[in-house]
Structure 1
Amino acid sequence: MVDSNADDPSPRCATCGDRIAADGRRRVETTVEDGEVVYRQFCDETCLAAWERV
């Protein structure tokens, strides 16, 4: 079976792995690690909160 979303450029949530919709619930966490900027994207506030607790 072929993944019909294989060419979908939308990012995946850093917590649950789902593709992130382009809506107002999306959250982005920006940090600096070893001198480099790292962006992590999340579906919503719930996934962001779950990631922050780890």
Structure 2
Amino acid sequence: MVDPTSDHHEDVDEEEAPNCEVCGDAIVNEVTHRVTTWVADDSVQTVHFCSEDCKTEWDES
């Protein structure tokens, strides 16, 4: 898995790229990539989204 703090839109192979939490698409070289991070039960949780629309859909669920 690629470091979530790295520049995901630069030189990321599809096999190494994170998948969108909503639609499941690999996020490869997408400048629309969004990440939400929070702490739960003393661990960091992170979800990736391929677009603002997918992030909004996840936020509303």
Q: TM-score range by the shorter chain?
A: 0.7 to 0.9
TM-score when normalising by structure 1: 0.79
Structure 1 portions without partners, runs of 5+: 1-6
Partner residue of 1:30 out of 28, 37, 40: 37
| Mapping for residues 1-54 of structure 1, pairs under 5 Å | 8-54=15-61
Aligned residues: CA RMSD: 1.3
- Distance in structure 1 (CA, Å) of the matches to 2:41 and 2:29: 30
Cα offset for 1:49?
0.3
Cα offset for 1:32?
0.8
Structure 2 portions without partners, runs of 5+: 1-13
Name the structure, 1 or 2, with higher relative contact order (CA <8 Å, separation 6+).
1
Runs of 4+ in structure 1 deviating by more than 4 angstroms, as ranges, are none
Q: Greater Rg, structure 1 or structure 2?
A: 1
TM-score when normalising by structure 2: 0.71
